[in-house]
Structure 1
Amino acid sequence: MLHFQSLTFLLLLLLFTFSSSSSSSAIGLDNPNKPAVLFVFGDSNSDTGGLASGLGFPVNFPNGRTFFHRSTGRLSDGRLIIDLLCQSLNLSFLIPYLDPLSGTTFTNGANFAVVGSSTLPKYVPFSLNIQVMQFLHFKARTLELVAAGARNLVSDEGFRNALYLIDIGQNDIADSFAKNMSYAQVIKRIPTVITEIENAVKSLYNQGARKFWVHNTGPLGCLPKILSLTQKKDLDSFGCLSSYNTAARLFNGALQHLTQKLRNQLNGATIVYVDIYTIKYDLITNAAKYGFSNPLMVCCGFGGPPYNFDARVPCGQPGNQVCDEGSRYVSWDGTHLTEAANTLIASRILSTAYSTPKISFDFFTHH
């Protein structure tokens, strides 16, 4: 009799345990106050392999040599800023949404950022609008599977508690200049770019997103690629192109104004604006102070001083020259930064000194 009662109790205990675990098997149900996921929308500054996965575009070694010791599709010698931010939260590195062989169920989020992305044109892969559409499809399909009993997927609460990071706009400005638009024409496009970012945030908000992290764009006029390819050299005292940097600052001012407007409009939303421009410009113009050398020269490039950049010999292609591992360069390939530079920038982001409002990145793991 005692044996039967003990067995019955054990079966009931197992049934209760299974029921409890099943009810919280979707990520986000077990602790709705702690975001389990991070979704990223942007360009090459945040692309952890989307270009290689989505288009099969080769991103060859020595990309990835410093941390991963192989190419992972990142345009850097190592980790990107987004990788370092994930590590600060003890999250795994984000898998590109387009990666067909990752084997992941995206329990910690997904990366929709792809090299070369911009906000305009609106329906060209992989514009910000397309990235948001991909997210909407991903969310709808995920919740269908959860409703059908699938386990270890992001729940509706998980999507609501997630942090949504947006870092885009650099290519809109740089590409406009590259198409020989005048300075006035480039500036005239900024409101349209800002509108696309506004539409993206509102689309995500209407899907339940409430936590946003928005990066502005860096000093484009200090990028070795742009310095090398631009004919008109309106250089400032640090050797950067004044017109490009002024356009970037005007874009950033409009973006900051947008985030303030959205805070007032979107009830319950927390929107943090991060001044990446100031962080990067300080790094470039005070490089020696931080232990870096040749802030306007490329580590992985071709051609030697002053920029070591040649569009015909890109990093990872035959003939390129690469600096010694451990060298303190800011620029990796003329557009993207080294892991050493990204590490310094990430530490500044995490300090909250450049954030409006001054909310820490890990705040979202506690609220």
Structure 2
Amino acid sequence: MKLLVLFFVLTSSFDISFSQRYNALFNFGDSLSDTGNVVISSLPYGMTYFGRATGRASDGRLVIDFIAEGIGLPHLPPNTAKNVSFHRGVNFAFIAAPALPFEFYHERGLSKGLWVSRSCCLPSAARRKVSCDPMSCILISPSSSYMCSSTHHEIVGDADCKDFLSKSLVVFGEFGGNDYNTGIFGGLPVLEVRSTFVPRITQAIAEGVERLIGLGAVDLIVPSVLPVGCFPLYLTLYSSSNPEDYGPRSGCARKLNALSWYHNALLRRQRNRLRQKYPTADYHAQVFDFALKPLKYGFKDGALRTCCGAAGMGRYNFNLRAKCDQNGPSVCPDPTTHVSWDGIHMTEAAHRIIVHFDAWPLPEAVGLPLLPPSTAKGKNFRRGANFAYTAATALEFGFFDRRGLSGKLWVNSSLSSQVRSFEKMMPSLCSSTQVCKAYLSRSLFIVGEFGGNDYNTAIFASRSMAEVNSYVPKVMRAIKFGVQRLIGHGAIDIVVPGMLPIGCFPLYLTLYGSSNKNDYTDIGCLRNYNDFAAHHNSFLQRVIYGLQRKYSWTRIRYADYYSPTLRFASNPTKYGFTGGALKACCGAGGSGKYNVNLGKVCAKRGSSVCKDPSTYVSWDGSHLTETAYNLIADGWLRGPYAKPSIMQWS
């Protein structure tokens, strides 16, 4: 699958095959993803979702559970389960599983520190069919019938096994955390663990990935390790009186986080040796962001204090004598307000955010590079291109020129001209009409948002709203014709975004403020302008519905900017926007109610920038911050702000 975004944008071939329905899901790892191979037998583990302990080291579901749900598969059974069908997938993860073999630790006098004595996680009956070297718990030899015969009864040969695995998703890790725990808890200096363990572990992971590829795996996710310096367990056991040992903003232990960072850096290097098809899922960046900005994610009780622990004792609520599920511990009233569940594992809420809100921009989320602008020189556009222009309009220059408005246009770039630019690029992407149709049928097109700049041109020229309203049908025709031209070339998957609620823009609030309270909504936005944007969006959805009926083989989605932005404005702190939704981050030096002054626009002399853009919705008064865009993109990718969501391929 490619991504063609017409703001305009073109992209080719999803690296993670969200476009297909996976036959199965296979997971290998440790306590971050074990669903029952090592059974934790008592509550409060499992209390939030299952109502009982299931073997999961959390109050509820894990990342792997949310992945399974997201791709339409059941929760994975542990591979040691009896009388269970593995035809939809299996989980080989073991709590405390290391990446390196027992012998590595035995030679260093550390084997007593291992909670489990094997890095190989297959049951004994199956282990006869594999060579059990480091990482071989997940590496079944091609001659083995274990995986294929137990997951797909019709498969009998290597070729069929490869075909089956090519249509499965493999999650490989997290591996390494328990190896480092064994060394550190065994008294080794962190620097020794770093130099001795990390290169071996990341090499073992890379070898494991390569062997899985050899068996036929195509789509693999390789998670990084967590920032262990943010774990309440480590913060309690290895506390320091030196404030320099802690991050000034996060409060996490620097030396321990540096170990995690080094592991992830080497893991990225190993990944870069492999084909670009295999993405790395980033636990570290997401969880560290929890520590920096817990309120942004709804963790009002913070990231460094455990939910289930030492009955409120100590700074981190952790005590080895009152661990979770043992006599003496207490459980917080609401685990969703905590990152840490038991001091070393996360809550279901944190696992959910990592899967459903890892804040990847759209191309990154589908495994593609960020899109180069279509005018870039010397670029290969086979993986996508961005035809968007700042201030581009849906309508042609002549439309505005006939109305005496051409002098108000910032650029002469319309939707039609962007489609023409795409058509000129097509010969460099595909060699014939038939090849182009096949290529574009596996691409994703994003067409818009269009219309906002058309309306701005008239509004900023002080034209009446009646005149501006008369533009809407013309804008709709332009969008409709643009989409039809793309369909004619072979496009099937098309996303058409609507307008934002411009009445909530600090720029509009500054320029068109009113002394009449009735002109404002209850959240402080200009009612008239928001009503206009809602009218545009309603009209656009009718157009999309008509196109979908006419071109029944396509998948045309309406993507909603309006609803999420309005939600941000209604309850900004819920989404972490402590700087508010109606005030620009970059603007007029802090002056005025909305921090907008046309004499001090962002990036011009006299303007200033807020300390933390992630706490603001508005960047410069008329555009959003990266954080706001990321939230919206996640809603388009997985719902509910695109119906069906982009990941929900028909």
Q: Which of 221, 226, 229 is 1:218 aligned to?
A: 226
**Deviation string, structure 1 residues 192-251 (Cα, Å, up to 9, x no partner):** 111110111122122111221111111110000111111546222122110110111111
Instruction: Please give the TM-score of this superposition, normalised by the length of structure 1.
Output: 0.78
**Deviation string, structure 1 residues 73-129 (Cα, Å, up to 9, x no partner):** 1011111111111111121101111122xx322121111111101212356413585
Asked if 1:175 is matched to 2:179, the reply is no
Asked if 1:84 is matched to 2:66, the reply is yes
Look up the match of 1:14.
none
Q: Which has the higher relative contact order, 1 or 2, with Cα contacts under 8 A spaced 6 or more apart? A: 1
**Deviation string, structure 1 residues 141-196 (Cα, Å, up to 9, x no partner):** 24457898699xxx622223211111212222233222222232122121111111
Structure 1: distance between partners of 2:288 and 2:97: 23
Q: Which of 266, 270, 278 is 1:254 aligned to?
A: 266
Q: Which of 108, 114, 121 is 2:94 aligned to?
A: 114
Structure 2: distance between partners of 1:71 and 1:135: 29
Residue 217 of structure 1 aligns to a residue in which SS?
coil
Counterpart amino acid of residue 273 in structure 2: K
Structure 1: distance between partners of 2:145 and 2:69: 28
Compared CA separation, residues 131 and 250, structure 1 to 2 (3 A): closer
Counterpart amino acid of residue 23 in structure 2: A
Compared CA separation, residues 223 and 261, structure 1 to 2 (3 A): same
Higher CA-based Rg: 2
Structure 2: distance between partners of 1:263 and 1:300: 42
Asked if 1:193 is matched to 2:205, the reply is no
Asked if 1:46 is matched to 2:33, the reply is yes
Look up the match of 1:281.
288
Counterpart amino acid of residue 126 in structure 1: S
Residue 312 of structure 1 aligns to a residue in which SS?
helix
Compared CA separation, residues 145 and 272, structure 1 to 2 (3 A): closer
Counterpart amino acid of residue 279 in structure 2: V
Compared CA separation, residues 147 and 356, structure 1 to 2 (3 A): closer
**Deviation string, structure 1 residues 6-53 (Cα, Å, up to 9, x no partner):** xxxxxxxxxxxxxxxxxxxxxxxxxxx64211111111111111112x
* Shift in Å, 1:295: 1.7
Look up the match of 1:15.
none
Residues 227 and 287 of structure 2 are in contact (CA less than 8 Å); yes or no, is this contact kept in structure 1? yes
* Shift in Å, 1:257: 1.1
- Within-5 A mapping of 1:13-32: none
How many aligned positions are there? 321
Residues 21 and 71 of structure 2 are in contact (CA less than 8 Å); yes or no, is this contact kept in structure 1? no
Look up the match of 2:43.
61
Residue 106 of structure 1 aligns to a residue in which SS?
coil
- Within-5 A mapping of 1:103-252: 103-121=83-101, 124-127=117-120, 132-133=136-137, 136=140, 140-144=145-149, 156=161, 157-167=163-173, 168-188=175-195, 189-232=197-240, 234-237=245-248, 238-252=250-264
Compared CA separation, residues 358 and 311, structure 1 to 2 (3 A): farther
Residue 104 of structure 1 aligns to a residue in which SS?
coil
Residues 34 and 365 of structure 1 are in contact (CA less than 8 Å); yes or no, is this contact kept in structure 2? no
Structure 2: distance between partners of 1:122 and 1:271: 28
Residues 37 and 95 of structure 2 are in contact (CA less than 8 Å); yes or no, is this contact kept in structure 1? yes
- Within-5 A mapping of 1:2-13: none
Residue 66 of structure 1 aligns to a residue in which SS?
coil
Look up the match of 2:338.
329
* Shift in Å, 1:291: 2.1
Residues 223 and 335 of structure 1 are in contact (CA less than 8 Å); yes or no, is this contact kept in structure 2? yes
Compared CA separation, residues 327 and 305, structure 1 to 2 (3 A): farther
Residues 35 and 55 of structure 2 are in contact (CA less than 8 Å); yes or no, is this contact kept in structure 1? yes
Identical counterparts, % of pairs: 29
CA RMSD in angstroms, aligned pairs only: 3.1
Counterpart amino acid of residue 306 in structure 2: V
Residues 98 and 118 of structure 2 are in contact (CA less than 8 Å); yes or no, is this contact kept in structure 1? no
Residue 222 of structure 2 aligns to a residue in which SS?
strand
Asked if 1:97 is matched to 2:79, the reply is yes
Flag structure 1 segments of 5+ consecutive residues without an equivalent: 1-32, 53-57, 265-269
Compared CA separation, residues 81 and 350, structure 1 to 2 (3 A): farther
Asked if 1:338 is matched to 2:347, the reply is yes
Instruction: Please give the TM-score of this superposition, normalised by the length of structure 2.
Output: 0.46
Counterpart amino acid of residue 119 in structure 2: F
* Shift in Å, 1:133: 3.8
Structure 2: distance between partners of 1:294 and 1:148: 48
Counterpart amino acid of residue 253 in structure 1: A
Structure 2: distance between partners of 1:355 and 1:175: 34
Structure 1: distance between partners of 2:164 and 2:646: 16
Structure 1: distance between partners of 2:366 and 2:188: 32
* Shift in Å, 1:331: 0.7
Structure 2: distance between partners of 1:113 and 1:344: 21
Residues 59 and 75 of structure 1 are in contact (CA less than 8 Å); yes or no, is this contact kept in structure 2? no
Compared CA separation, residues 75 and 314, structure 1 to 2 (3 A): same
Deviates more, 1:128-137 or 1:117-126: 128-137
Structure 1: distance between partners of 2:314 and 2:237: 14
Compared CA separation, residues 326 and 333, structure 1 to 2 (3 A): closer
Asked if 1:35 is matched to 2:22, the reply is yes
Residues 22 and 168 of structure 2 are in contact (CA less than 8 Å); yes or no, is this contact kept in structure 1? yes
Compared CA separation, residues 204 and 252, structure 1 to 2 (3 A): same
